[in-house]
Amino acid sequence: MAALVGLGLLSACQPALRGTGDLGLVVERADGRLMVVENSTSTKLASVAGLGDLSHAALVYSRDQRFAYVFGRDGGLTKVDMLTGTIAGRVMQSGNSIGGAISQDGTLVAVANYTPGGIKVFDAATLAQVADIPAMGADGKASKVIGIADLSGRRFIYTLYDAGEIWIADLSDLKSPKITKHTNIGKLPYDALITGDGRWYLAGLFGEDGIAMLDLWNPDKGVRRILDHYGKGKEALPVYKMPHLRGWAVAGDEVWLPAIGHHQVLVVDKGKWTEKARVDLAGQPVFAMARPDGRQVWVNFAVPDYSKVQVIDTQTKKVIKTLEPGLAILHMEFTPKGERVWLSARDSDKVVVYDTETLEQVAEIPASRPSGIFFTNRAHKTGL
């Protein structure tokens, strides 16, 4: 009830109408709860509870931006109604999941699983399961799945962590999904990203140096290894948190990647796939995220440097400011046109909002152990 009132959907006789384009969700991971938030006012509108284990939870949005599909660590898939602040549907789909994707046409939601591995695909409207595709590597063993993203048509691309393979599942015929496999892509691919145009799929490798890359305009050419020197190198540096490649770090004709184990980000030419520069940083980067206009890249860090955030000017490739917004900054999300960025300060129990021009804090919102922040404009972006 409280949530309904908070969203202004119930009034004496005339329900107020509103859109969802100004809304987002913040994961309060220790409590299995989401906050429904509003960009323009930097406020919380409602709380949605009962989502289970949300550690490392991710979500995607429906095409109409009304619903979020939340992928919980406990294998729960929850459909949340942004307008009513309620759970519209929930299924327990596996023992342990990590992320998911929604198809280009918005009809299918695919979930990538750690246990038992593989992907499961659900009808976005009803949450009825429509496909279950195990991930058996060439070695005959079940594999954890990471880095799932939507491709054109009813296709999903994802990576097998244990087996070192990239698969594409085509679900245009639900009765017989077609799988295309690229094997031997490298050891322990830990995360992957797809560029916003849907052309390049990059998987970072933990077990060896380099990045596995697939050109989806020319998939027959197979997976190429790029940036051979990219990785931990000879000195096996401890990596206190696996970097995320999905930080959407494409700015203009450059891709910004967290250097695994090093206190650096790499700048790579998008298309030639050669390194152009490295920028030294305050710690091991986790996310390197480009402001929507590509003029800045914001970086957060692994423990013990995770209370800092650095802002890089992409033209000069220099850190222009080191911020300390709060304790344990886990995630960053730009407003759709990038005038502000929201940061979750897990150990300060708050979300802080910064102006991206002045680099000053403009708001903060109390939140219980916040982690992921997701705005509804992701609904119309490939790979998000």
Partner 1 sequence: MAEVAPARSGAEVAPARSGAEIAPSRQAKLKDMVDQDCGSCHGMTRQGGLGSPLLAEDLNKLSAEAVIETILEGRPGTPMPPWKAMLSREEAAWIAAYLMGEMK
Minimal distance in Å, beta carbon 362 to partner 1?
Answer: 27
Between CA 262 and CA 4 the distance in angstroms is: 47
* Phi, psi (degrees; rounded to nearest 5) at 23: -110, 165
**What would the two tokens of residue 134 be?**
């195990």
* Phi, psi (degrees; rounded to nearest 5) at 219: -65, -25
The single-letter DSSP state of residue 369 is S
**Which contiguous run of DSSP H or E holds residue 332?**
strand 329-334
Minimal distance in Å, beta carbon 303 to partner 1?
Answer: 5
Closest-CA residue to 155 (of 200, 198, 103): 103
Between CA 357 and CA 349 the distance in angstroms is: 25
Dihedral sign computed on CA atoms, order 243, 244, 249, 254? positive
Interacting residue ranges for partner 1, rule: CB under 8 A = 29-30, 53, 55-56, 73-74, 95-96, 98, 114-115, 144, 146, 161, 188, 190, 206-207, 236, 238-242, 303-304, 328, 346-347, 369
* Nearer Cβ to partner 1 (190/334): 190
**What would the two tokens of residue 259 be?**
């250097």
Closest-CA residue to 78 (of 32, 38, 119, 115): 32
User: 309 - beta bridge partners?
Assistant: 300, 323
Name 26's Cβ contacts closer than 8 Å, sequence gap at least 6. 34, 35, 37, 44, 342, 344, 351, 365, 367, 370, 372, 373, 374
Minimal distance in Å, beta carbon 240 to partner 1?
Answer: 6
Closest-CA residue to 21 (of 33, 5, 37): 37
Dihedral sign computed on CA atoms, order 374, 304, 230, 73? negative
The single-letter DSSP state of residue 251 is E
Between CA 82 and CA 90 the distance in angstroms is: 15
* Nearer Cβ to partner 1 (99/336): 99
Minimal distance in Å, beta carbon 139 to partner 1?
Answer: 16
Between CA 78 and CA 287 the distance in angstroms is: 25
